[in-house]
Structure 1
Amino acid sequence: MVSHKPVIFVVEPFGGSIRWHNPSLPLIYWDDYAVTRGDGIFESILIRDGHAANLERHAQRFCTSAAALGLPEPILNSWINATQAAIEEFGEGEGKCTWTYSRGRASTGIPTAWVSIQPISDVVLAQREEGVRVMLSERGWSFPSELPAKTLNYAATMATLRLARERGFDDVIFTDPDDGHVLEGATSTVVTVKGDKLRTPYDDTILPGTTQAALFAHAESQGYRCKQKVIDVDYLLAADSVWLVSSTRVAARVRRLGEDKLKAPDNENEIRSLIDAAMTRG
């Protein structure tokens, strides 16, 4: 039976122990830097059939993010054990697992860390099936290329998403304000398909996508040609199909890009199956 409540396990960042936390009770203090400054990192992981998909890539990126922000090195065994305990508590069905690691309270200097699992939202499930309408937007901020961190500071991204929804779109693809090159989705990686070629935008400010990496590794084993490439909007419009791939939404086909409608390709089901298989292997 699928749990309808979140499952939370607290991870002690230094001791390595884990403990169950009642989701109806508070966890974060008023002076936690996650709240006051968005100072921390996170990873979102798909839970499917009792399995954390693509876990090794997520764990590697989590450690990279922690190092970039100067957080103590995560004790990965603790995070993985907490994830497995949360999966057992969560039960059957798909879930969104989030690893959250904050710099912690200003008054103690001790990091705050926890693992949570919640059901996949109906909105996400619908976008998987129906695709998404995407607004193009220049991105006015970026991390330096030497800091490829997945941080909690998502305020600007969320503001852009709210604007997109007010204008009748479901999501956003960011472009470089200087040269117009395509960067990434608000919470996803852009992937194009044209014949047997899969491409994803190249730019040193783009956070490497774990789902895209898993997809390319699997697709290459199936005979597809995959690589990063500098991409502009015209390239997206000329592709057979454009996808936003991410950990829990997995894949959503772009069916409208700005004012342009993108037709469903003949091989839509094949591409969906390819991406699903990549996540199963992860």
Structure 2
Amino acid sequence: MDSSTPLIYIVEPYGGSIRRHNAALPHIYWDDAAVTRGDGVFETLLIRDGHPANLQRHLDRFQSSARLMELPEPNVADWIDATRQAVEEWSQRTDADAKCVWTYTRGRESTGHPSAWLTITPLGETVLKQRKKGVKVMTSPRGFTIDTSLPGVEEATEGGTPEPAPWLTVGAKTLNYAANMAALRYACSQGLDDVIYVDPATGRVLEGATSTVIVARPGRKLRTPTPGGDILPGTTQAALFEYAEEQGWRCKEKDMTVESLLDAESVWLVSSVRVAVRVTELDGRVLPAPANEDEVRELINAALGAE
């Protein structure tokens, strides 16, 4: 079997079997909440050098997302075992980077039983190209705002921002990515590659459509928008900051504006699969490559292999 064929493993959510699934055969039922409502959570992991990168942080966020969505607690041992089996099989095909996606849904309406599976697929040409050449980006509001004055839980999220109405589950990595994909399609229609969301009321930089924003500043400094509230904490950003501080960089979570991006040494979008892509153009303004571009890219790559 060649490396272009997806590898699929079914994970029974109640501690049942872990089994390989034929990618040529269907698996999802017509009444699964993933299809009818986008009701579920997921994680995307980079497979590199025969192992899943940043595994523990993905596990932690996966469990947190499931709790926020009131799904049964994922059996971590089963997910690790399924991933290990899948990666071992995939590594027999190729040693190139790949993408592993865990999917966990509320399941069939007719049974009430959750559905869960993982897939491993090769990286697309667009991802590989953006890693090398960077991305042209536009800034934009999300198209909606989150009113933290709505009735809701008063506890703080990871970033310290008060939670809005609890049903919004803004801290969960859910399957409901239709708006994000629409934003990316619009950017592409304008000859661009990506979007950075900005709060229209405050001018605060939020995050990329599928990534975390990082800036490098003079003096070996790295900055990222404060996570929590309407900014999903990033696993790649967390790994980067931990590793970079060990290498003598000064890392800080800090609210930023578009001006903060424009006067930075460099701007990066980081995520599990693309890893590190430099923003080469922002709202029509060219951002020249800094002298330490290779150093920053190598730092981010090394952070994912530091465990």
**TM-score normalised to the size of structure 1?**
0.97
The answer to whether the 8 A contact 1:192-1:199 is kept is yes
Aligned length: 282
Counterpart of 2:192 in 1: which secondary structure?
Answer: coil
Residue 61 of structure 1 deviates from its aligned partner by 0.2
Gap regions ≥5 residues in structure 1 = none
- Please state how far the C-alpha of 1:93 moved relative to its aligned partner: 1.9
Q: Secondary structure at the match of 1:265?
A: coil
Are 1:132 and 2:135 an aligned pair?
Answer: yes
Contact 2:101–2:118 (Cα < 8 Å) also in 1: yes
Kindly indicate whether the alpha-carbon contact (under 8 Å) linking 2:265 and 2:290 is maintained by their aligned counterparts in 1: yes
In the alignment, the residues of structure 2 paired with residue 86 and residue 233 of structure 1 have an alpha-carbon distance, to the nearest angstrom, of 41
Q: What SS does the aligned partner of 1:226 have?
A: strand
Counterpart among 112, 137, 142 of residue 109 in structure 1: 112
1:197 maps to 2:242: no
Output the amino acid matched with 2:253.
Q
Structure 1 stretch 268-277 or stretch 10-19: which is displaced more?
A: 10-19
- Map 1:10-21 to 2 at 5 A: 10-21=10-21
Task: Give the drift of 1:90.
Answer: 1.2
Q: In the alignment, is residue 98 of structure 1 matched against residue 98 of structure 2?
A: no
Q: Does the 8 Å CA contact 2:15/2:78 hold for their aligned counterparts?
A: no
Alpha-carbon deviation of 1:205? 1.5
How far has the Cα of 1:141 moved from its partner? 3.5
Q: Does the 8 Å CA contact 1:16/1:75 hold for their aligned counterparts? A: no
CA shift digits 1:143-163 (9 cap, x unpaired): 775431000000111111111
Counterpart of 1:154 in structure 2: which amino acid?
Y
**SS of residue paired to 2:269:** strand
Match of 1:240 among 265, 271, 278: 265
Contact 1:65 1:151 in 2 (8 A): yes
Q: Which residue of 2 aligns with 1:262?
A: 287
C-alpha separation in 2, matches of 1:2 and 1:51: 19
> What's the secondary structure of 1:70's corresponding residue?
coil
Report the TM-score, using the length of structure 2 for normalisation. 0.89
The CA deviation at 1:142 is 6.1
| Corresponding residue of 2:251 | 226
Displacement, 1:177? 2.0
Identity level (%): 59
RMSD over aligned CA atoms reads: 1.3
